[in-house]
Structure 1
Amino acid sequence: MKAKFNALIRFRFLFSVSRKFASSPFNSSPLETLIAKPRLCWTTAAATATTTTTTTTTTTVLQLNETLEEKVVLEGIQDHPKNSKDVFRRWGCSETDISRIFLRRPSLRNTDLTILQSKLNILSELGLASSDLAKIINCRPRFLSCRINQSFHERLEYLQALFGSREMLLKAIIRNPSLLTYDFHHRIKPVVAIYDGVGVSRKDLIPMLLSRPTLIPRTSLNDEKMDYIRRTGISKDSKMYKYVVTLIAISRLATIREKLANFEKYGISEDEILGLFGRSPLVLTLSIDKVQRNMTFILGTMKLPASVVLDHPFLLFFNLEAVLKPRGLLMGKIQDMGLVSQIKGPTMLRALRMNEKRFVKAFIKCHPEDVASELMEYYTNAKDVKRLAESSKKNLHKGFPF
């Protein structure tokens, strides 16, 4: 009974499969099946090949893009400066210039490269050369540490209008780099306005700014200084007016009083001294020590009156050891030898103003050979006498001479 039941189940299964197979849409003749199968296989192979080709091409393009991107990144890394030395080198500084810069300002080795590059770009806009930068850093070590980019374009426009041209402005900046660091609104513009107010035109102010770089930070005018300017007796139309005004403006009142008192010791009145300042403003720049030493020699050795310097202020400017003393002693020697009866007055003053070659020819070589040799030896020995402890002085000053 069990065997018959199993046989019945198998028969029903075969019958159902045959019906499903017959009703299937895939049921076709053997020939059609043989033809259809290769077609299906070829389509699948073509699709696979196309997909593989597309994938390969995409992979190649991606690899190429990645290679180009890596190359650009590498070039960018290589183009980026590594340190401040590299920044200076790319800006145009030689190895010598870079060494001088780092010697005067070692902290520039560790400065921020972006800020340093921006400041160098500003200097390039001005037309500043690398050799000029080395000179500026040598005299102003903190120059690149200052905020030169603050109000730069406004400052540049104003200064260029003041100096008249970019070339003159560049010359002034090289002479005084602090023009780029002074407070623009509270220092530069007010000082220019002060000189405009007292009658110094901008045309006259330019040579003063070039010759006196401390003009801007040290200028101050009050009633007492204005009174000194008035008492010099100089008019605003005089060529000396700008010198008188600027020298008094940058000088401290205590210094002016001390120099006036120094001249008064030799019997010269204050009005006469101020009149001397009006005729020869640079007398105000002489130190008290130099005036004392020259006046002592003029009065004591040369036996001239103190008032002689009012008419001949050049006597105060001569170097005592190199010009004034040797020539004064030589003329005294000539008189003692009886070669000339007397040398005084205009002849002495004219001899002091001669250049070296002309003086030797007029007062030494004009005599017989033996006398000329003796005078030349005496004159040379007199010039070799130096001031006490002069040779032991050490010049420790670095930077601008002012």
Structure 2
Amino acid sequence: MSSAKQDQQYLQCKVAVHVMRAMSKSTWEKKVEVYKQCGWTKDEILVAFNKTPWCMKASEDKINDVMDFFVNELAWQSSFVPWWPGIISMSMERRMKLRPDSLPMSTVSFGLREKALSASKYVKFETPDKPDSVLAFFQNNGFTQTHISTIVRTFPPVLLSDPEKTLLPKLEFLKSKGFSSTDVAGIVSASATLLKRSLEKVIIPSFDFFNNLLQSEERTLAAIKRSDALLLFDHQTHVTHNVEILREAGVSNANITFSLTNEPRAFMTSSDRFREVVKEVETMGFNPSSINFVLAVQFLRGMSKSTWKKKIEIYKRWGWSEDEILGAFKMRPWCMMASDDKITGVMDFLVNKMGLDASLVARRPKLISLSLEKRIVPRSAVYQVLLSKGLIKSDGISLATVLEPPEKWFLEKIVNRHKEEAPELLKLYQEKLDLAK
């Protein structure tokens, strides 16, 4: 480490000590709550304090004013500010403004004039050449106008980057691992701060870690597409411990790999919290050898207790008992991930319009996850015609039996089988599907 960098870290340490000594514990906790209300996590607050200790000395009004300006006026993501906490100490009254006619022409041609104006107040361009070269770089590498606009809005300092030195190597690394140009544009625009991460210290080690864990580049690519945050931080400690917690519970490597590939964010939590969720799933009676065990862990980890209670209350309003709710969750964990409107819409149609018993739906929870407009309503219309013509009997083929199977089965076994007695079925079914488009 260079002497200059050591001196800088020493100075930051002294400032941090000074700030903490001058602040009571209650004041510190109050500032933490203010930042949390602005959308920061505990980790982001610590990152900001580590970079600029003075950010914890700002008044509550100052913090709220700055965050309101950047997030609500400039449409920045709140999670961007912790990485540039010096922004918090800037004067709101004396901020610099850049004349519109001095903006790089590229920002105008890309429809980014307003975004660049906003960014320019805090990212000072000595000449328009650098931002022009950055925008041209993205365009030449397959980024759409929407991609570029999103990147500039969420990470304005990217306009000060050296495209060949700092941006190109990261894009080339991702492409070398199998990501297409479209994939890369999607990943970068979804998490633009990836561009400020060190390729050698963060991005490559993170990719290698997950690749070794998943034992497949194909699965690693799939996991990163689902959560680009995998490349933003060092997740090794939490992820490794959480994988071990699942193994200790009796979960197979195949199911762990499935979960890590399809919902990697579930593993990005403290081991204490993860262990608590696993214990809760065990208490519910899930079989650790079942794929539903890891699905339940994923869903519970990503759901607050208040949201869980709210879902339970919704099902109870439809007459489900707590045992029926737990039974449905064990059979089909997805039923607790459906939105409140989705649950209410499906239950209202099946119970009030189609006359199904609410407890029957509890025994067939897959019904909750089916599309109301594209599956349930069109097939129910066909089912009602067949019942009215006496071509099927409700005690022979139930509505649930008609709703659950895949499209091919439904057309062959229900629609086409009765096309002579009810030739209007296919047209009716298609009309209902068209209404859903």
CA deviation string 1:79-100 (max 9, x = no partner): xxx968879999xx88361555
CA deviation string 1:345-377 (max 9, x = no partner): 54433322354465456555555769523x555
**Structure 1 residues 193-342: aligned runs within 5 Å:** 193-200=244-251, 202-217=253-268, 221=273, 225=277, 228-336=280-388, 338-340=389-391, 342=393
Letter in 2 for 1:105: I
Partner of 2:148: 102
The DSSP-based 3-state class of the residue aligned with 2:201 is: coil
Aligned CA-pair RMSD: 3.9
State the Cα distance separating 1:177 from its structure 2 match. 2.4
State the Cα distance separating 1:268 from its structure 2 match. 1.9
CA deviation string 1:279-332 (max 9, x = no partner): 222222222221221112222222222221233222222222222223323333
Unaligned runs of 5+ in 1: 1-81, 392-402
Partner of 1:135: 186
**Structure number with bigger Rg:** 1
State the Cα distance separating 1:278 from its structure 2 match. 1.7
CA deviation string 1:168-193 (max 9, x = no partner): 43443344322111243665445445
The DSSP-based 3-state class of the residue aligned with 1:267 is: coil
Distance 2:202 2:422 in 1: 71
Unaligned runs of 5+ in 2: 1-128
Distance 2:306 2:134 in 1: 47
Partner of 1:181: 232
CA deviation string 1:200-240 (max 9, x = no partner): 45543222122114323467737874564134322223343
CA deviation string 1:27-55 (max 9, x = no partner): xxxxxxxxxxxxxxxxxxxxxxxxxxxxx
Partner of 1:36: none
Distance 2:178 2:414 in 1: 53
Distance 1:310 1:364 in 2: 27
The DSSP-based 3-state class of the residue aligned with 2:357 is: coil
**How does the TM-score come out when normalised to structure 2?**
0.57
**Structure 1 residues 349-368: aligned runs within 5 Å:** 349-356=400-407, 359-360=410-411, 362-363=413-414
Distance 2:260 2:338 in 1: 20
In 2 relative to 1, CA 369–175 (structure 1 residues): closer, same or farther, beyond 3 Å? closer
Whether the aligned pair in 2 keeps the contact of 1:232 and 1:276 (CA below 8 Å) is: no
Distance 2:225 2:392 in 1: 55
Between 1 and 2, higher relative CO (CA 8 Å, sep ≥ 6) is seen in: 1
The DSSP-based 3-state class of the residue aligned with 2:328 is: helix
Distance 1:268 1:231 in 2: 20
In 2 relative to 1, CA 211–322 (structure 1 residues): closer, same or farther, beyond 3 Å? same
Whether the aligned pair in 2 keeps the contact of 1:85 and 1:98 (CA below 8 Å) is: no
Whether the aligned pair in 2 keeps the contact of 1:330 and 1:378 (CA below 8 Å) is: yes
Between the aligned residues of both structures, percent identity stands at: 24
In 2 relative to 1, CA 206–86 (structure 1 residues): closer, same or farther, beyond 3 Å? farther
The DSSP-based 3-state class of the residue aligned with 1:303 is: coil
**How does the TM-score come out when normalised to structure 1?**
0.61
Partner of 1:400: none
> Which one of 109, 116, 121 corresponds to residue 167 of structure 2?
116
The DSSP-based 3-state class of the residue aligned with 2:423 is: helix
**Structure 1 residues 65-84: aligned runs within 5 Å:** none
In 2 relative to 1, CA 355–102 (structure 1 residues): closer, same or farther, beyond 3 Å? closer
CA deviation string 1:48-85 (max 9, x = no partner): xxxxxxxxxxxxxxxxxxxxxxxxxxxxxxxxxx9688
